[in-house]
Amino acid sequence: MSEAPHLLVEENGAVIVCTLNRPEKLNALTGQTMRLFEEALHKFRDTAELKVMLIRATGRFFCAGADLRDKTGEPEAPANTATAIREKHRLRLHGMHRIYDEMEHIEKPIVVAHQGTCVGGGLELSLSCDFRLAAKSASYAFPEGKFGVLPASNGVSRLTRYVGPHWARYLIMANKPADADRAYTMGLVHEVYPDETFDADAMEFCEHLAKQNSEQMGAAKVAIEMAHELGRDQARHVERMANSALMLNPDYLAMMEKYVSNIGSKGKS
């Protein structure tokens, strides 16, 4: 009997849904998982009708991190110098860095929904998503500290940008877990939903995103990322540059004409 696919992919209207599907292995990430996910990511990127990607999981864990026993596609010789280890993080690990970069660069929203425990590599993948949603029973941790190392595939860089050094120290240096409510307080997740309605709430959130203007959504994703890296004055230039294109969009012009017309009609009544 063949093993079930490590990732299930389906389309729900304008939403492409990727489901981690190794509940018996706590959805640990494998080479197969990442290969199937990258294929789905490219389909999402290249298909105009798909507006939102939702990443979710089956079972009691969202993801327990990378499957350390899975060596598919990895070199047989272990990395035994500091340079080799750095290059392994950058180029190997089933292409995680390349995939995470692409997630951040695609000008469409990516949502991750944590129904349960999310740790290590699963949390690092989630940090490249635009929106993180938590069920009440979700929890978060970086167990790498127990082994005397750092989470080095988004774990320090992205986490610190989102929650600041104050909470990054708590998760990484103190090696303390966070439940869903504390993750919300940190700014790690955007919403916490009841377990009983979580799947429906997450899909409703995605469907709301799918209704937004695609051009505005893409420009906002790029502009927000750039503005975060720049000083206030340069960030204002980013705003103006983005709007100089958006305000020539026929959809915007038509909506503004209708809006102004409606105001005029009300003023005459």
pLDDT (tens digit, 9 = 90+) per residue, 113-169? 999 999 999 999 999 999 999 999 999 999 988 889 999 888 899 999 999 999 999
pLDDT, average across residues 183-204 = 98
Q: What are phi and psi of 110, to 5 degrees?
A: -120, 125
Find all residues with CB under 8 Å of 246, minimum gap 6, and list them. 215, 216, 219, 252
Indicate which residue of 49, 76, 102, 124 is catalytic: 124
User: Domain 7-210 belongs to what architecture?
Assistant: Alpha-Beta Complex (3.90)
Average pLDDT estimate for 105-114: 97
Q: What is the per-residue pLDDT for 185?
A: 97
- Please tell me the distance from the alpha carbon of residue 42 to that of residue 26, in angstroms, as a whole number: 25
φ, ψ at 112 (rounded to 5°)? -120, 135
**Catalytic (active site) residue 215:** no
**Residue 15: predicted pLDDT:** 98
Q: Which of 3, 144, 196, 215 is catalytic?
A: 144
Averaged pLDDT of the chain: 91
User: Active site includes 144?
Assistant: yes
